[in-house]
Homo-oligomer: A and B are copies of this chain.
Amino acid sequence: MIDYRRLRIALLGAGSVGSQVARLLLEQRTELADRAGADLELVGIAVRDVNAPRDTELPRELFTTDAAALIHGADIVIELMGGLEPARELILEAINSGADVVTGNKALLATSGPEIFEAAEQVGASVSYEAAVAGAIPIIRPLRDSLAGDRVKRIMGIVNGTTNYILDRMDTEGADFDAVLADAQRLGYAEADPTGDVEGFDAAQKAAILASLAFHTAVPLESVHREGITTVTASMIEAARHAGFVIKLLAVAERMDTDGQESISVRVYPALVPREHPLASVHGANNAVFVEAEAAGPLMFYGAGAGGVQTASAVLGDVVSAARRHIAGGVGVGESTRANLPILPIGAVTTRYQITLEVTDQPGVLATVASILSDGGVSVATVEQTVVDGAGTARIVIGTHTAREEDLSSTVQRLSASDVVRAVSSVLRVEGE
């Protein structure tokens, strides 16, 4: 074996991803050394409880509760403990003690990313986080490096496996949200408290990270418009199918040009996606990120979005890259946020919409609905009216041309208040056409 320089690796956290990272570092040490050009020595694993049960058998002597002491003297610190604190504090400590950092902490990056990247730039450390978005799928590095010479126009991502699993089963089985969620919880695809996933919080964090990278602009989590999938019903999915769409929870980050002023929009919501779009065939708990760049055209990255060992692959890729950099010398490459584009509020965003109304089935109703839309500045592209029942209810499904969200939303309010409209059944955006 070649006598490689030894690099000290400190691991914070030994959950489902952390324990797999530790196992692979130990089991594949020789192979990883050949790849990295450095011997990666796992010097310790900081956990809250040394005696807690782990997914993998790991040497007891590696465990410690003293994260701060472990960080001291480490060349590379892997943070997989999750949560905001003490993760933030420990990462800053690692950076300031001269270590490179690898993290999978999307919540932290979406919240304190700029502070962390700033600290790293000051001392020339690198911060890598391939594991923070879309699990095993390489998407951070392609955006950061491969597309660095291109202009990203739009990203549409299925970045939350739980919600894609639920929507996919609703689509395949015609089942209702609550039933599928309960089953997903039973099977381990959804957590006991599913809020973070089904309300889009997890996807919003990832959207903020992707948008920051793609548009070289710090995107605070608060500027990400977020809607979850709890309002999606079996009949909405059925109606979407009828119209040639599938409903997906999308994280959309888009470069927009309003009157010559460039800006970006970052949003998470369930959207209608045409069945022939590559994202429509992303099934189960898989993730995919669809990127449209000015020169490169459309690209798609597809794979497992979660899972301990899958995500560990992304972490180790970052560790090996950090090790190579360590050996090669030089300082880490900072995050480029120099474009600093303004972020549009959701009201100013334009998309196509599909509006489903239950109306009284009588002459003149369509004319009334049409004039409310046109008065509101919402232009109709397609319309389909069907009789629902014998009780005088008809359904009108309206596909709009591109409309501004604030126009659309005040128009929907006026529709809702109209005498002829019994109910606004759904309002969904259309993406990927």
Shortest A330–chain B CB gap in Å is: 2
A312 near B295: Cβ-Cβ < 8 Å: yes
What 1/0 mask marks residues of chain A from 272 to 315 whose CB sits below 8 Å from any chain B CB?
00000010010000000000011111111111100101101111
Q: How large is the interface on A (under 10, 10 to 19, 20 to 34, 35 or more residues)?
A: 35 or more
Q: What are the 5 tightest A-B residue pairs by CB atom distance, in nearest-first order?
A: A149-B316, A330-B330, A138-B146, A136-B296, A329-B330
What 1/0 mask marks residues of chain A from 116 to 151 whose CB sits below 8 Å from any chain B CB?
000000001000001000001110011001111111
Residues of B within 8 A of A300 (CB): 300-303
Q: Which of B24, B37, B138 contacts A142 (CB 8 A)?
A: B138
| Complex Cα gap A297–B35 (Å) | 20
Main SS of the interface on chain A? mixed
Please tell me if A216 contacts chain B, counting CB pairs below 8 Å: yes
Count copies of this chain in the complex: 2
B136 near A295: Cβ-Cβ < 8 Å: yes
Q: Which residue of B lies closest to A304 (CB)?
A: B297
Known: A136-B296, A296-B310, A313-B295. A331 touches B328 (CB 8 A): yes
Please tell me if A319 contacts chain B, counting CB pairs below 8 Å: yes
A148 near B332: Cβ-Cβ < 8 Å: no
Q: Which of A32-48 contact B (CB under 8 A)?
A: 32, 34-37
Q: Which residue of B lies closest to A144 (CB)?
A: B321
B138 near A299: Cβ-Cβ < 8 Å: yes
Please tell me if A186 contacts chain B, counting CB pairs below 8 Å: no
Residues of B within 8 A of A325 (CB): 330, 333
Given contacts A300-B301, A330-B331, 16 further A-B contacts (CB under 8 A): A24-B295, A34-B338, A35-B336, A36-B148, A124-B328, A136-B296, A141-B146, A148-B324, A149-B315, A297-B303, A299-B303, A299-B304, A300-B302, A325-B333, A328-B332, A330-B330
